[in-house]
Structure 1
Amino acid sequence: MDRLQGMRVFVRVAESGGFAGAARALSMSPAAVTRAVAALEAVIGARLFIRTTRSVKLTEAGGRYLEDCRRILAEIAEAEAAAAGSTATPTGVLTLTAPVQFGRLYVLPVVTDYLTRHPAVTVRALFLDRIVNLIEEGIDVGVRIGHLADSGLTATRVGSVRRVVCAAPSYLERHGVPETPRDLRDHAVIGASNPGTLPEWRFGPEGRTTVGVHARLVCNTVDAALAAALDGWGIARLLSYQVASAVAEGRLRILLTDDEEAPVPIHVVSPGGRRAPAKTRAFVDLAAARLRADPRVNPAA
């Protein structure tokens, strides 16, 4: 069996979600695709897919093997290009993730520019308000807002944002302006499902001042919490980029600026570092340059 061809077939089945789709994409018969995957499973001694009459799903071993296959095939493609004396050209499918609103406002323009520059690449953009495990979920690039855990990923810092307390002028006219963080105990508080949401809000450069807050309204999306604040219902704590346009338009006021925590870093992260595929390196380089040049993301720009 041609091991590399088996890997290519396996990756296409995983990406297509089935044997028939992979067969069409590879111009092979379904039977040939099935034989190639079966031969690969026999060689490595593990099942790669769980097959039912309705679906084909990766096993746990298959999920791990898929990322190894993608990496190996990408490295082979780049090695062949280098041996031929050419610079590796970004090709294939690039999967990236970013927080929903940040992705829409700041990452999507980078993506469209990237696609224009690299016509041989297709992008899958997953905008999610949760921390995605890039390795386990097969993601090439992630944009992370917050302090990074020691994950083994290569991280490029591109800027920072602030956690800000804000309210609509109509709310402040009715209930007054909190002068200190402890005054928040006497106000209506809106909770939002972002990484900064805690039963206690922290203040001060090192976050040493804590104030217990009781949010009578807790929203599972930032957009909903922002809408409630704009409606004048209460005080919310969000990231500065999430409220920037409303603040600029005068629909929200930022409060307690002297008591803010230190800014929260923004990183572009990816597995593999400079050994990552050309498609990944090209996107990281472009995203870093574009985001660092944006004063809304990088105040030092």
Structure 2
Amino acid sequence: MDRFQSMQVFVTVADTEGFASAARKLYMSPPAVTRTISALEDHLGVMLFHRTTRQVKLTDAGLRYLEDCRRILADLVEAEESVAGAHRVPRGKLSVTASSRFGHLHIAPLLFDFLERYPEMSVQTLFVDRVVDLIDEGLDVAVRIGELPDSSLTAIRVGSVRRVICAAPDYLDMRGVPQTPQDIQGHDIVQFSSLASKAEWRFKGVEGEIIVPFSTRFTVNTPDVAIAAAVAGRGLTMVLSYMIVPELMSGKLRIVLADYENPPLPVHVVYQEGRKAAAKVRAFVDFAVERLRTLAYLNSALD
């Protein structure tokens, strides 16, 4: 039995949740896939899958074995790439994750230039508003905003972003520019729930934190809606500074109460393996770090 091939078949069945689908992906016949899994289970002395006529699910033993197989197969690919010189020539598929709006506005343009520089590379993105586990989801690089937990991942800081309050100039002309945090209570508020789950905003004061409650008729869970509402003159909203770069540059929004902002949030490029990372990862990390560090909005220079 070819142990590595068996592992590849096992991982593919687990990923596709089916023998027939795995067979199509591997260009094998379904009976061959079934025989490979059965032989692997006989060799290990455990059942790796619960099989029914409708679905194939991993057993507890299968779940544990899957993690080990991913690691072993990744090590094998790494060893082969190293021998073949992949640590010197960037090539292959790279997977990158970031939050949705940051990815759309700021990482996608960077990736276009990266692909132009490295024609043997391809890129797959996962832009979602959740923390993605690079190891569990098999991704190469993440751009993360906020304090990082301790982990085995390598993180390079590229700047920071601010939590800012903004509004449309026409709205501010009509309702007045708030001069102190307490002034927001006399304004319409568009609450972006990801930054403020309660109807209150927190500010930095001379003597410590200032918490100002407010009432709102409009609470949203995406920055796009909060920003669109602010541009339409519906009131003040709190977002992260990188989210409104186009609107600030075009004059559609203005930042207020900048003197009362809380400390900025760090932005890091995060990846696995450190110096042992494959050439494709190191090439992108170097490219992204250099580019992101030149951007004013990641260095608190955006007003």
Q: Distance in 2 between matches of 1:228 and 1:60?
A: 48
Q: Distance in 1 between matches of 2:65 and 2:185?
A: 52
Q: Residue 129 of structure 1 aligns with which residue?
A: 129
Q: Deviations over 1:44-103 (max 9, x none)?
A: 555545555455555666556445433322322332344466746555543322111110
Q: Residue 293 of structure 2 aligns with which residue?
A: 292
Q: Larger deviation: 227-236 or 118-127?
A: 118-127
- Asked if 2 retains the 8 angstrom alpha-carbon contact of 1:166 and 1:255, the reply is yes
| Shift in CA distance, 48/155, structure 1 to aligned 2, threshold 3 Å | farther
Q: Larger deviation: 46-55 or 226-235?
A: 46-55
Q: Distance in 1 between matches of 2:4 and 2:12?
A: 12
Following TM superposition, by how much is the alpha carbon of 1:278 offset from its aligned partner in structure 2, in angstroms? 3.9
- Asked if 2 retains the 8 angstrom alpha-carbon contact of 1:291 and 1:298, the reply is no
Following TM superposition, by how much is the alpha carbon of 1:9 offset from its aligned partner in structure 2, in angstroms? 2.0
Q: Distance in 1 between matches of 2:70 and 2:91?
A: 12
Q: Residue 13 of structure 1 aligns with which residue?
A: 13
Following TM superposition, by how much is the alpha carbon of 1:229 offset from its aligned partner in structure 2, in angstroms? 0.7
Q: TM-score, normalised by structure 2?
A: 0.84
Q: Distance in 2 between matches of 1:91 and 1:64?
A: 31
Q: Distance in 1 between matches of 2:47 and 2:120?
A: 32
Q: Deviations over 1:117-172 (max 9, x none)?
A: 55555433111112223333333322111111223322111111111100112222
- Asked if 2 retains the 8 angstrom alpha-carbon contact of 1:140 and 1:270, the reply is yes
Q: Residue 269 of structure 2 aligns with which residue?
A: 268
Q: Distance in 1 between matches of 2:219 and 2:126?
A: 24
Q: Residue 230 of structure 2 aligns with which residue?
A: 229
Following TM superposition, by how much is the alpha carbon of 1:15 offset from its aligned partner in structure 2, in angstroms? 4.6
Q: Distance in 1 between matches of 2:120 and 2:67?
A: 21
Matched, 1:36 2:42: no
Q: Distance in 1 between matches of 2:17 and 2:177?
A: 55
- Asked if 2 retains the 8 angstrom alpha-carbon contact of 1:71 and 1:277, the reply is no
Q: Larger deviation: 246-255 or 81-90?
A: 81-90
Q: Larger deviation: 117-126 or 250-259?
A: 117-126
Q: Larger deviation: 66-75 or 212-221?
A: 66-75
- Asked if 1 retains the 8 angstrom alpha-carbon contact of 2:162 and 2:300, the reply is no
Q: Secondary structure at the match of 1:173?
A: helix
Q: Secondary structure at the match of 1:208?
A: strand
Q: Deviations over 1:208-251 (max 9, x none)?
A: 22222333211111101111111111110011111121122221
Matched letter for residue 69 of structure 1: C
| Shift in CA distance, 81/141, structure 1 to aligned 2, threshold 3 Å | closer
- Asked if 2 retains the 8 angstrom alpha-carbon contact of 1:203 and 1:260, the reply is yes
| Shift in CA distance, 159/14, structure 1 to aligned 2, threshold 3 Å | farther
Q: Secondary structure at the match of 1:142?
A: strand
Matched letter for residue 197 of structure 1: A
Q: Residue 219 of structure 2 aligns with which residue?
A: 218
- Asked if 1 retains the 8 angstrom alpha-carbon contact of 2:51 and 2:57, the reply is yes
Q: Distance in 2 between matches of 1:43 and 1:249?
A: 65
Matched, 1:245 2:285: no
Matched letter for residue 234 of structure 2: W
Q: Residue 145 of structure 1 aligns with which residue?
A: 145
Following TM superposition, by how much is the alpha carbon of 1:261 offset from its aligned partner in structure 2, in angstroms? 1.5
Matched letter for residue 196 of structure 2: T
Q: Distance in 2 between matches of 1:226 and 1:27?
A: 48
Q: Residue 73 of structure 2 aligns with which residue?
A: 73
Q: Distance in 2 between matches of 1:292 and 1:102?
A: 15
| Shift in CA distance, 34/283, structure 1 to aligned 2, threshold 3 Å | farther
Q: Larger deviation: 63-72 or 100-109?
A: 63-72
Matched letter for residue 101 of structure 1: R
Following TM superposition, by how much is the alpha carbon of 1:277 offset from its aligned partner in structure 2, in angstroms? 4.0
Q: Larger deviation: 4-13 or 275-284?
A: 275-284
Q: Distance in 1 between matches of 2:185 and 2:236?
A: 11
| Shift in CA distance, 203/80, structure 1 to aligned 2, threshold 3 Å | same
Q: Distance in 1 between matches of 2:34 and 2:256?
A: 62
